[in-house]
Structure 1
Amino acid sequence: MSLDWIYYAISWILLRWHALWDTIGIPDGRVLGTNWSWILSIVFLVVTLRVILFPVFVKQIKSQRAMQALQPKVKELQEKHKGDRETLQKEMMELYRVEKANPLMGCLPMFLQIPVFLGLFHVLRRLNPDNPQPNLYGWTADQFRDATHSALFTAPLPAKFGSSATELTQLGANSGVTVKIIAAVLVLTMMATTYLTSRQMILKTGWAEDPQQKMIQRLMLYGIPLSLLVSGALFPIGVVIYWVTNNLFSLAQQQWVLRKFPPPQVAGKPGTTPARSANGATAAKGTTKNPVQPAGRGLFGRKQAEPEPQTPVVDTKALAPKPGAKPVNPKKGTRPANKPKG
């Protein structure tokens, strides 16, 4: 299957942003050793894609909330089928099917961005002065030449931490040491922001009870950042800038959503302290026995149902007369109504 359509799409978005910065007047020459028009083009490539993928992000949040709401039922199944992994998996798959929950939905935005990452990796990798096809994927010869010699603090954007001396010479790098320092700092930043993005969501929603879902959480939290330590040396500096920008955008977006629409408290979760209600019943702190959502707007502007009126509980023991007390005649002291004359 040809991926040319991805390369054309990435190139089109990148070149449109570069043309905009050129129209606004952002210089294409180096300021502080940096071609800011190309750096901003990569940054706003991220913004464009994240705006397009925002509906998918909404589905991801809803799926995570659904999975969190199912945790008590998942725990019951685990207790019921302890030691019978095959039956447990069948029952849990049936539970997900009935409740229309998908444990893999939380990874969907990341999977959708993989083709974009591969496309940008391919487009930046071919930025070489010796490339015989500079006009490929809609580029002009001038755009190709400018992008090939673009840099971040004198480190060429097509360069990598593992670039050879010959490759750096072709790209016009002033110093191989500078390229390695810039690339190393960006790779470490990429690892840190990747870890923080996963950690932010797990701290708010908690670890999953489902072993399969928990394994995915551990993979995203520890496995992916560690793998970037090795693979990051093969990424062009422009690709690492894209990844870091994407992570920072994700951190800000998740923080806004989690602050505005905090995940519901699940009874029995570690960290909840029991609180005694007015009638002596014990419930988890922050939860009620029959929770009723307040009227108004729910997640992402949807209307919530109006709360049902509750009948006040009458304490009959408090109304009963105490032993030895003199009975009170409710009619005593009241004047009879005047009877009509005639």
Structure 2
Amino acid sequence: MLDFIYYPVSGIMWVWHWLFSHVTPASPGGDGIAWAMSVVFLVFTLRAILYKPFVKQIRTTKKMQEINPQLQAIRKKYAKDRVKMTEEMQKLQKEHGFNPLLGCLPMLLQIPVFIGLFHVLRSFNRMGTGMGQLGMSAAETRSQGNYVFSAEQVQNFLDARLFGVPLSSYLVEPATEFQAFVEPGAPIDFTRPQIAYVVVPMMIVASIATHMNSRASVQRQPEAALENPQTRMMNNLALYIFPIGILVTGPFFPVAILLYWMSNNIWTYGQQHLVFGKIAKEEEEAKRLKQEKLKANAPKPGARPDRKKRNAAAADSGSAGVSLTKANSTDGASETSETSSPGESTAADSGAGAKPKPGQKPTRSGAGAAPGSKKQPPNRGGKSTAKRGGKRGGGKR
């Protein structure tokens, strides 16, 4: 059903076993070290393939933390419009080049690998009757191949011992299936307590390593991300639920699976420090270059700042306003000259709203009148106001 997973996983394991079988010496019960190292380097090979997606996951996570306040603002603003909320969030993510799938891609790719390795390891011993098992006898399971492994290699794996126990044995395995790990008719050379002595410490180490990796990842998160309820929930799952899950399910996992889990955590711990250190150096270098650029653009000590560009920009921005003001002034002056009468020029020259001198009567000309005010009626007597004033003055004398 999932042969496209089982064959590649078993093929990588076969290559590493072939290599280590020529390096490590054979033991009386089989080359357990070679098989154990093939499992360890199977993990390392797969994690090396997933290195670039892991780096993208870290960068995606950091970018998610940067835009998280904006996402929260969008959720709050469009709380009653789910469609608009989704559109705005997708738009924001697209603007920042954020892809949510990259954040979970490495984890999603590791799931089929884990399932494939679990199935391949269980298929070395097919005496079980559970899911994926064929219920074979001990003789049949030792004479059948296992995907890319031949029947002889299956026998070598079943006879191999790591700390005195088979690599595909597990703590709650039925005793009837122990016969597959020895030659037909030979006595069982291990006990269930021996399996517990190997499995329980490996479970504890794998659980602690999972917790430490999660803790190192959480400590690198900014405070703004830690205030998010969803982030806190995921952090609690990674810090406590997953490690406890290993302790609960550990008795059902073969020794080789626990070895896989420990190796995976060791790789993750080293890879996190490498990637986060690399990203920190990149950020520090970008910060240094920015400071050098600002320092290069800053004026030297004792020198006046170069204001040519700023003055030129101010002149450009103010030229439009000056020309507009001149145009308006010209228009206003033309309108005044058109609407004012010849008798109003004296008042215009003296200035609108000017105070009269002591003893002088205020002029009643329309020069200072507001636009639209009524003009003075014409002098029908044919005598100017000045002449009448002169007669009055003569009378007084």
> Do the structures match in fold with TM over 0.5?
yes
Contact 1:78 1:88 in 2 (8 A): no
Partners of 1:133 and 1:63 lie apart in 2 by: 49
Contact 1:34 1:151 in 2 (8 A): yes
Once the two structures are superposed, what CA deviation does each residue of 1:148-168 show, in whole Å capped at 9, x if it has no partner?
122220121111121122223
Out of 197, 201, 207, the residue aligned to residue 217 of structure 2 is 201
Q: As a proportion of its length, which structure holds more helix?
A: 2
Identify the residue that residue 61 of structure 2 maps to in structure 1: 64
Structure 1 residues 191 and 154: CA distance shift in structure 2, 3 A: same
Q: Which moved more, 1:33-42 or 1:121-130?
A: 33-42
Structure 1 residues 84 and 213: CA distance shift in structure 2, 3 A: farther
Identify the residue that residue 198 of structure 2 maps to in structure 1: 182
1:250-265 equivalences under 5 Å are 250-262=268-280
Partners of 2:70 and 2:210 lie apart in 1 by: 31
Partners of 1:163 and 1:106 lie apart in 2 by: 37
Contact 1:125 1:158 in 2 (8 A): yes
Partners of 2:89 and 2:229 lie apart in 1 by: 11
Once the two structures are superposed, what CA deviation does each residue of 1:111-164 show, in whole Å capped at 9, x if it has no partner?
111111111111110112442762231211211101112222012111112112
SS at 2:63 equivalent: helix
Once the two structures are superposed, what CA deviation does each residue of 1:282-312 show, in whole Å capped at 9, x if it has no partner?
xxxx9xxxx96333xxxxxxxx998455445
Q: Report whether the alignment pairs 1:131 with 2:141.
A: yes
Structure 1 residues 39 and 292: CA distance shift in structure 2, 3 A: closer
Query: How many angstroms does 1:192 deviate by?
Result: 1.4
1:94-243 equivalences under 5 Å are 94-103=91-100, 105-128=102-125, 129=138, 130-131=140-141, 134-171=144-181, 172-206=188-222, 207-243=225-261
Identify the residue that residue 18 of structure 2 maps to in structure 1: 19
Structure 1 residues 173 and 243: CA distance shift in structure 2, 3 A: farther
Once the two structures are superposed, what CA deviation does each residue of 1:301-336 show, in whole Å capped at 9, x if it has no partner?
xxx998455445999xxxxxxxxxxxxxxxxxxxxx
Contact 1:187 1:228 in 2 (8 A): yes
Structure 1 residues 135 and 190: CA distance shift in structure 2, 3 A: same
Q: Report whether the alignment pairs 1:294 with 2:293.
A: no
Identity %: 33
Root mean square deviation, CA, Å: 3.3
Amino acid at match of 1:142: E
Amino acid at match of 1:73: Q
Q: Report whether the alignment pairs 1:46 with 2:43.
A: yes
**TM-score normalised by L of structure 1:** 0.71
Q: Which moved more, 1:226-235 or 1:132-141?
A: 132-141
**TM-score normalised by L of structure 2:** 0.62
Structure 2 spans left out of the alignment, 5+ residues: 126-137, 182-187, 303-397
Query: How many angstroms does 1:229 deviate by?
Result: 2.3
Query: How many angstroms does 1:22 deviate by?
Result: 2.0
Out of 12, 27, 30, the residue aligned to residue 29 of structure 1 is 27
Partners of 1:3 and 1:72 lie apart in 2 by: 42
Structure 1 spans left out of the alignment, 5+ residues: 266-285, 296-303, 316-342
Once the two structures are superposed, what CA deviation does each residue of 1:245-265 show, in whole Å capped at 9, x if it has no partner?
011110011012223332999
Q: Which 4+ stretches in 1 moved above 6 angstroms? A: none
Identify the residue that residue 245 of structure 1 maps to in structure 2: 263
Q: Which has the larger radius of gyration?
A: 2
Partners of 2:81 and 2:171 lie apart in 1 by: 45
Query: How many angstroms does 1:242 deviate by?
Result: 0.7
Identify the residue that residue 7 of structure 2 maps to in structure 1: 8
Once the two structures are superposed, what CA deviation does each residue of 1:190-244 show, in whole Å capped at 9, x if it has no partner?
2111122121111112444544444333333332222222222211110110111
Partners of 2:157 and 2:286 lie apart in 1 by: 57
Structure 1 residues 244 and 89: CA distance shift in structure 2, 3 A: farther
Partners of 1:232 and 1:94 lie apart in 2 by: 44
Partners of 1:117 and 1:80 lie apart in 2 by: 42
Partners of 1:250 and 1:39 lie apart in 2 by: 19
Identify the residue that residue 301 of structure 1 maps to in structure 2: none
Contact 1:161 1:233 in 2 (8 A): yes
Contact 1:34 1:153 in 2 (8 A): no
